[in-house]
Amino acid sequence: MTTHAPIVHLRAAGVSLVLDVEGPLLPRVLHWGADLGPVDDAELLALRGASVPQVVGGTLDHPVPLSVVPEQSAGWLGTPGVTGHRHGGAFSTAFRVTGTTLGDGDRPGARRLTVHATDTAAALDLALDVDLLASGVVRTRAALTNTAATGAEHPDYTLSSVDLSLPVPTEADEILDFTGRWIRERAAQRKPFTFGTHLREVRKGRGHDATLLVAAGRTGFGYRSGEVWAVHVAWSGNSRIVAEKIQGGARHLAAGELLLAGEVILAPGETYTTPWVLGSYGDGLDEMSGRFHSLLRARPQHPSTANGRAERPVHINVWEAVYFDHDLDRLRALADEAAAIGVERYVLDDGWFRHRRDDTAGLGDWYVDEDVWPDGLHPLVEHVEGLGMEFGLWFEPEMVNPDSDLARAHPEWIMATGDRLPPEARNQQVLDLGHPGAFDHVLERIDAILSEYPVRYVKWDHNRDLVDAGHSPTGQAGVHRQTEALYRLLDEIRARHPRVEIESCSGGGGRADLGILDRTDRIWVSDCIDALERQSIEAGTGLLVPPEMMGSHIGSPHSHTTGRRHDLSFRAGTAFFSHLGIEWDLTSAGADDKAELARWIALHKRHRPLLHTGTVVRADHPEPTTWVHGVVDADRTEAIMAVVQLATGPSEAPGRVRLPGLDPDRRYRVAPLDPGGDIGDRTGHQRLSWWDEGVTLTGRTLDRVGVQAPVQLPEHLVLLHITAV
């Protein structure tokens, strides 16, 4: 049943989405981008007419539509929306719309178009949801159902892919995405949006090299200007994103789950539902990014003062302080030092469970090690809570060491293909959560630990790729099923222990998508705590994830992953904006360092409501050695900005830096934000004339002219506090 006009215009937060839903073909997007304002039906019909491409010689005799689910049967010869077959037949779909409805979505302020279509020849039904959320983010999802009769000649349908498409205009002639590796995630890369297909895939269940976003925009688009369109797949398994330009001139971004061969075979009556594919538009990366932040912050479970929940507690994680050396007296002493400087949560990392003296054994044996902890974890937990801190604990539930009681008792619970085991990584194999026995065992053990101890935080790790990941004994590909089981496991644990926060860690930032973040409270951005590396890692991750959901820790003076040394002010200032933590053996720190660290923690707590609810802004500074970023509060009365000197520049002084995101007509006082040391005078040069007393300028002047930045040593930063006067 159709309950609306043939062309639907959805509007939210400065974004318009115009869809041609007049059948019988699947809906086509006529415009996704800047708000068109109120548009009457006559103009929408005219827009449809003005959008039809010309038929040229040597092509089909009719214009080729690009639908949200593109079909070769309609003449589309780019990446198709649905691929699969029924014993070699039904390789190409030809859906015909049977009904469309327009109503409210499942999020406050959202509008949803739902389309139902069928292909009687292929015996498939399609249900398509297209949402425009209150944040201006477009969200799409499809459900494909096999309608063949049980007694048909070929009743099963082998599904290969379902990709959902959003077109982008001709102006989008440059692509931005991200690559990386362990301890170097989210490295940006750009290329022209040329003819052909730019394909980014995740084939290992996670990916430090995976891109959180693929964005297309005007060449040279930056943080503050240049139209940009980006898509993200909210899925924690295998995925793919396509940026494609065909000879007819059409270009689009398409995305979905990457299915391995034979991974989804639909029996009659069975349905496959895609992950949500999300698209965000903005005039500049900041606006595009801000829509994702707004979407996350609007969730009732979001860990932020914006929803009346507790502020993000300052952590200490003991991994780089003690590694596997779990000595109770040493851990108590570390807790004493942490509490003395204002830490609010203490997290015991890897090494607390049976046989776990290094990373070669014990994974999967989720029982407190009786040899190391004869009285259980109770003495440490009681000590931590007695100091006024919460207690957190590390798990890696999806993995197993071959040298473990669990693997020896249940080798059939290890993911494997046919008669072989996958290659080991970090001395680990993957536990098949799709096996009911394995799922129930892991749930029971985590539930038992969380029930026995007052754990308020779980660091949920995932330290290896899914390689050759199948189900025993059939050997069928199993990443899809594993991901669904992971979600069920997390959902059940959260239902049983609603006060427990969960961190998504995957060797750092290997799993940072919105599927996992819908079930967890933060990500561990990277295993690298080197503050210089973190500047770029967090800049890339922050395009999708808001600061309060990014774990960022102050490491020891000597980085354990890169060997670099940095001043405390640079390490602390780098972690300052995010969910702050410490990863440092404080028992070895000097009195001066601990005093300065306490001042940084106090400063972070004082400004935590702004840092974790404010709008993230970044400046397009022309010199790549200088990086300017910060947060501005909702009513633009206060901001904190960081001016970071990443390396030595070619000029003697960095020049003026612009401070974006402020109200252009208000006046602001700009002054250093100093936790107690003199972070503005580390070079021996004469001080800036405005540094001691601050300077008062309008937001327009600060954005268009800026202020002179201080000369800094490389790998240093200063914080600026900006307040309306």
Q: Is 461 assigned a ligand-binding role in the annotation?
A: yes
Calculated CA dihedral for residues 87, 89, 91, 94, nearest 10 degrees: -130
Q: Which element (helix H / strand E) includes 540?
A: helix 531-541
DSSP state of 627: E
User: Would you call 527 a catalytic residue per the annotation?
Assistant: yes
Selecting among 283, 286, 461, 521, the annotated active-site residue is 461
Return the SS3 of 95: coil
Q: Is 463 assigned a ligand-binding role in the annotation?
A: yes
Q: How far apart are CA 452 and CA 614, in angstroms?
A: 38
Tokens of 291: 């829509």
Q: Is 528 assigned a ligand-binding role in the annotation?
A: no
Alpha helices in 542-667 (DSSP H): 568-575, 591-611
Alpha helices in 91-211 (DSSP H): none
Quick one: which of 297, 349, 389 has its CA closest to 503? 349
User: Would you call 461 a catalytic residue per the annotation?
Assistant: yes
Q: Is 593 assigned a ligand-binding role in the annotation?
A: no
Q: Is 349 assigned a ligand-binding role in the annotation?
A: yes
Selecting among 209, 369, 527, 703, the annotated active-site residue is 527
Q: Which element (helix H / strand E) includes 322?
A: helix 319-322
Q: Is 460 assigned a ligand-binding role in the annotation?
A: yes
Do residues 594 and 585 make contact, with C-beta atoms less than 8 angstroms apart?
A: no
Distances (CA, A) of 378 to 107, 401, 455, 596, 690: 42, 26, 11, 32, 54
Q: Where are the beta strands (DSSP E) in 465-592?
A: 470-471, 476-477, 501-504, 522-524, 550-555, 579-583
Q: How far apart are CA 254 and CA 416, in angstroms?
A: 31
Q: Is 350 assigned a ligand-binding role in the annotation?
A: yes
Q: Is 352 assigned a ligand-binding role in the annotation?
A: no
Q: Is residue 359 classed exposed, middle or buried when 0-12, 13-18 and 19+ CB atoms within 10 A define those classes?
A: middle
Tokens of 277: 């594919």
Quick one: which of 576, 579, 577 has its CA closest to 597? 576
Q: Is 505 assigned a ligand-binding role in the annotation?
A: yes
Q: Binding site residues, as ranges?
A: 182, 349-350, 426, 459-463, 505, 527
Q: Which residues are catalytic?
A: 461, 527
Q: Binding site residues for substrate, as ranges?
A: 182, 349-350, 426, 459-463, 505, 527
